[in-house]
């Protein structure tokens, strides 16, 4: 199948289905709507929705929205769009953890009544001191032994807005001496007067992530709750919450390793900083490792799913080179993108023996393996453009392209010989005078082999296009993991590549005139390009973004 195979989570699921522990599986993808999704989320989406697909189960989309200040509707909308664009559909309506705020509150009251939760007055700083360290047990808060009645009263008054933000919390009463710091009386509610994108101003107390997540999974009858490895040590707390709240679901949490991409960043918070500090044009800037940025760059859902399959699922480190991502995207586009010719760095070629009426054009297929993509006419005129670097006056050894006195095949057209080089006052080559072999349209020349084939466009027929060329956004492999001499992290923004984008004018075959946005093409011998999703407008100069080159040039 098209999803990552044979990983340990699939083994667990297959055992659970075989043993009858579960009749069907239910997964969920639980993003916090505090930014746009990135390539790491794509891995998690393909995992969760992919498992539901493979095992005939269901996958929910749930917004984990417990931090009102950082969350908003724009992020909710973009997340839905990105999941669907990747090719997945969640079960029913999207869920919101905030839809469970009433239940979460009632369960918290229940925990207080059972003596399993208490209201604490310690400040955040005091709480840190009381928590202890890895090697040293924590200390009980002086408020830990409040009576159930007092706790119930205080918690209601917290809810009713009687106390200042941050002045009180509700904590689980578990074990301040636990070897697992997450079990040292974790906070499950805090006071925060903040407008919430979903519940408005209804609440001034908000539940914490661990509590909310476990309860939400149980409410939704999630069977396999998949998250990244940093939550491994939270699992005992997750299990505690499931065991101590009146939920029917019995979800189990499993952890896999987070995807990291070299020369990139996979953290919404840091990507947000790139946006707010204007280092990029927005979350969907084609240089961003966001799903919407990669979409705008021309990556396909199929290419991203192929990438997710290739990186696989495991518990070992998952740091991946950009070439793996680009390789998957390239591989998929090779078969799916029609082809045309465009010249990015033109040099003028005058055809000295062009004869109107006699010099013919040819029709050429848009893809060698896809007849159904159709054909177009490839017209020729007395002036054509070729790439500057397809000509060398003094060619290196093994040169197959054009040189003075040499011949090349013009792709889909004639064999052409260079007879004369025209230079300007500085000795720069500004024009080539060439002649066509009129007996070579659609056939090989007599008595000699012409090895080189180059792309070109007819000056008279070509359409000028805007092309944005991209390079890596960062100049180092791990931009957010570089330490300076003082041992402190260097700001990752210090490693932004100042030359990550270049805009040029190029010339393309006139088929580019009528393209809709997000039309993906191979420019022969160069790479894959896409008409910009937002700035390409029919009737105006076409705008293309370079998706990826034909060859891997990351290693260079």
Alpha-carbon dihedral 18, 21, 26, 29, rounded to 10 degrees? -100
Between 269 and 537, CB nearer to Mg ion: 269
Q: Are 177 and 137 in contact (CB under 8 A)?
A: yes
Q: Which two tokens stand for residue 24?
A: 């069907």
The entry of Mg ion, ligand ATP, none that residue 287 binds, CB within 5 to 8 Å by partner kind: none
Which distant-in-sequence residues (6+ apart) come within 8 Å of 396 by Cβ? none
Instruction: State the minimum distance, in angstroms, from the CB of residue 311 to Mg ion.
Output: 20
Tell me the closest approach of the beta carbon of residue 273 to Mg ion, in angstroms.
13
Residues in contact with Mg ion, counted by CB under 5 A, come to a total of: 1
Is the CB of 149 or the CB of 230 nearer to Mg ion?
A: 230
Among candidate residues 268, 295, 296, 468, the one labeled active-site is 268
CB 4 within 8 A of CB 50: yes
Of ligand ATP, Mg ion, none, which one sits near residue 30, judging by CB under 5 to 8 A according to partner kind?
Answer: ligand ATP
- The answer to whether the CB of 183 falls within 8 A of the CB of 236 is yes
Let me know if 358 is a catalytic residue. Answer: no
For Mg ion, the nearest residue by Cβ is: 32
30 vs 286 by CB, closer to ligand ATP:
30
Q: Which run of H or E residues covers position 502? A: strand 501-508
Residue with tokens 């060859």: 551
Contacted by 431, from ligand ATP, Mg ion, none: CB < 5 to 8 Å by type: none
- Is 400 a catalytic site residue? no
Token digits for 279? 């280092």
Query: How far is the CA of 371 from the CAs of 22, 499, 524, 529, in angstroms?
Result: 48, 39, 17, 21
Nearer to ligand ATP, 234 or 412 (CB): 234
Tell me the closest approach of the beta carbon of residue 76 to ligand ATP, in angstroms: 12
Pairwise CA distance, residues 479 & 489, whole Å: 10
Cα angle 222, 68, 39; round to 5: 60
> Of 10-18, 27-35, 354-362, 373-381, which segment contacts Mg ion by CB under 5 A?
27-35
- Restricting to residues 28-47, which ones interact with Mg ion according to CB under 5 A? 32
Residue number, nearest CB to ligand ATP: 40
Q: Would you say the C-alpha torsion 24, 46, 243, 207 has a positive or negative sign?
A: negative
Q: Is 376 a catalytic residue?
A: no
From the list Mg ion, ligand ATP, none, partner contacted by residue 41 (C-beta under 5 to 8 A by kind): ligand ATP
The partner in contact with residue 43, picked from ligand ATP, Mg ion, none with C-beta cut-offs of 5 to 8 angstroms by kind, is ligand ATP
As a whole number of angstroms, the distance between CA 339 and CA 364 comes to: 10
The residues binding ligand ATP (CB under 6 A) are 30-32, 40-41, 43-44, 64, 227-228, 258-259, 266-268
Rounded least distance, CB 98 to Mg ion, Å: 15
Residue pair 7/313 in contact (Cβ under 8 Å)? The answer is: yes
- Between CA 325 and CA 43 the distance in angstroms is 12
- Which one of Mg ion, ligand ATP, none interacts with residue 530, CB within 5 to 8 A by kind? none
Quick one: 155 or 492, whose CB is closer to Mg ion?
Answer: 492
Phi, psi of 166 (to 5 degrees): 80, 0
Show the tokens assigned to 535.
Answer: 């700035």
CB of 288 to ligand ATP, least distance (A): 12
- Residue 348 touches which member of Mg ion, ligand ATP, none, C-beta under 5-8 Å by kind: none
Q: What is the DSSP string of 434-450?
A: EEEETT-TTSPPTT---
Min dist CB 237 to ligand ATP, Å, is 16
For residues 27 and 169, which CB has a smaller minimum distance to ligand ATP in the complex? 27
Establish how many alpha carbons lie within 13 A of residue 355's alpha carbon, considering only the half-sphere containing its beta carbon.
Answer: 7
Q: Which is nearer to ligand ATP, 326 or 387 (CB)?
A: 326
Least spacing, CB of residue 238 vs ligand ATP, in Å: 13
Shortest separation between residue 156's beta carbon and ligand ATP, angstroms: 31
Q: Alpha-carbon distance 140 to 128, whole Å?
A: 12
Q: Nearest approach, Cβ of 449 to ligand ATP (angstroms)?
A: 52
Q: Which does 196 bind (CB under 5 to 8 A by kind): Mg ion, ligand ATP, none?
A: none
Pull the structure tokens for residue 407: 């011949």
- Residue 5 CA, chain-centre distance (Å), reads 21
Q: Whole-number minimum distance, CB 67 to Mg ion, in Å?
A: 9
The whole-angstrom separation of Cα 45 and Cα 49 is 6
Give CA–CA dist 171/122, Å, rounded. Answer: 11
Q: What is the 3-state secondary structure (H, E, C) of 121-185?
A: CCCHHHHHHHHCCCCCCCCCCCCCCCCHHHHHHHHHHHHCCCCCCCCCEEEECCCCCCCCHHHCC
Catalytic-role residue among 192, 258, 270, 466: 258
Closer by beta carbon to ligand ATP, 70 or else 116: 70
Name the residue nearer to Mg ion (CB basis): 83 or 341.
Answer: 83
Nearest-angstrom CA–CA distance, 91 and 56? 12
Name which of ligand ATP, Mg ion, none residue 522 binds, using a CB cut-off of 5 to 8 Å depending on partner kind: none
State which residue, 32 or 331, has the beta carbon closest to Mg ion: 32
- Of 276-315, binders to Mg ion (CB under 5 A) are none
Pairing outcome for strands 457-458 and 415-423: unpaired
DSSP 453-481: EE--EETTT-EEEEEEEE--SBSSS-TTS
Task: Report the catalytic residues.
Answer: 32, 258, 268
Interface residues with Mg ion (CB under 5 A) are 32
């Amino acid at each position: 199948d098209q999803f990552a195979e044979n990983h340990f989570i699939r083994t667990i699921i297959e055992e659970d289905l075989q043993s009858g522990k579960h009749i069907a599986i239910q997964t969920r993808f639980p993003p916090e709507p505090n930014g746009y999704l990135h390539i790491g989320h794509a891995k998690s989406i393909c995992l969760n929705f992919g498992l539901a697909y493979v095992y005939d189960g269901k996958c929910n989309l749930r917004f984990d929205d417990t931090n009102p200040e950082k969350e908003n509707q724009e992020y909710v909308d973009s997340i839905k769009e990105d999941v669907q664009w990747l090719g997945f559909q969640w079960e029913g309506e999207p869920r919101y953890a905030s839809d469970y705020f009433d239940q979460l509150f009632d369960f918290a009251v229940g925990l207080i009544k059972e003596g399993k939760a208490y209201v604490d007055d310690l400040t955040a700083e005091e709480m840190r001191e009381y928590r202890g360290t890895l090697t040293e047990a924590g200390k009980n808060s002086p408020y830990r032994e409040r009576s159930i009645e007092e706790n119930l009263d205080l918690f209601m008054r917290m809810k009713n807005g009687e106390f200042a933000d941050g002045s009180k919390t509700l904590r689980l009463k578990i074990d301040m001496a636990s070897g697992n710091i997450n079990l040292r009386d974790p906070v499950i509610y805090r006071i925060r007067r903040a407008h919430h994108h979903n519940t408005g101003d209804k609440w001034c107390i908000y539940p914490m992530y661990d509590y909310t997540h476990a309860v939400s999974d149980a409410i939704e009858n999630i069977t396999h709750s998949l998250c990244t490895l940093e939550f491994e040590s939270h699992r005992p707390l997750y299990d505690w919450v499931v065991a101590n709240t009146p939920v029917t679901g019995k979800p189990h949490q499993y952890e896999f390793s987070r995807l990291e991409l070299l020369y990139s960043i996979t953290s919404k918070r840091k990507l947000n900083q790139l946006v707010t500090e204007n280092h990029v044009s927005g979350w969907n800037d084609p240089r961003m490792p966001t799903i919407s940025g990669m979409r705008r760059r021309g990556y396909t859902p199929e290419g991203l799913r192929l990438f997710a399959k290739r990186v696989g699922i495991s518990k070992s480190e998952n740091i991946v080179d950009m070439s793996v991502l680009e390789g998957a995207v390239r591989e998929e586009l090779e078969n799916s993108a029609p082809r045309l010719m465009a010249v990015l760095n033109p040099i003028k070629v005058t055809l000295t023996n062009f004869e109107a009426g006699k010099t013919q054009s040819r029709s050429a297929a848009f893809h060698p393996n896809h007849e159904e993509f159709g054909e177009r006419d490839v017209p020729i005129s007395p002036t054509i453009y070729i790439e500057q670097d397809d000509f060398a006056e003094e060619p290196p050894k093994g040169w197959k392209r054009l040189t003075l006195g040499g011949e090349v095949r013009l792709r889909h057209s004639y064999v052409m010989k260079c007879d004369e080089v025209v230079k300007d006052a500085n000795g720069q080559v500004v024009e080539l005078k060439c002649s066509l072999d009129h007996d070579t349209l659609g056939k090989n020349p007599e008595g000699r082999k012409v090895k080189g084939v180059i792309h070109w466009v007819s000056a008279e027929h070509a359409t000028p296009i805007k092309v944005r060329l991209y390079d890596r956004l960062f100049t180092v492999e791990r931009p957010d993991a570089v330490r300076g001499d003082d041992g402190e992290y260097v700001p990752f923004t210090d490693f932004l590549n100042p030359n990550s984008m270049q805009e040029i004018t190029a010339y393309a075959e006139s088929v580019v005139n009528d393209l809709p946005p997000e039309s993906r093409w191979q420019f022969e011998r160069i790479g894959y390009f896409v008409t910009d999703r937002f700035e390409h407008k029919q009737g105006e100069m076409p705008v293309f973004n370079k998706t990826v080159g034909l060859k891997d040039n990351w290693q260079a």
